[in-house]
Structure 1
């Protein structure tokens, strides 16, 4: 929601949050016309 309020179109999340959280955020991103970028620094 914070990124959307700022006017951003891309939201980056870290893969370590887990499968369930990623799926929930993906559903939210699609519903809000946002791009979800999955990131994992090595």
Structure 2
């Protein structure tokens, strides 16, 4: 249920950005771990 002009609230945008950041970090961590496993 949304009201007013803002179809997307600031909190929604923040939540989405946080999720994207966390997912991005997760991908970076897994890539680093894979490289370490390949080296050893």
TM-score category, normalised to shorter length: 0.3 to 0.5
Higher relative contact order (CA 8 A, sep 6+): 1
TM-score under structure 1 normalisation?
A: 0.38
Greater C-alpha radius of gyration: 2
Which structure carries more strand by proportion?
A: 1
TM-score computed with the length of structure 2 as normaliser: 0.40
Answer 1 or 2: which has greater helix percent.
2
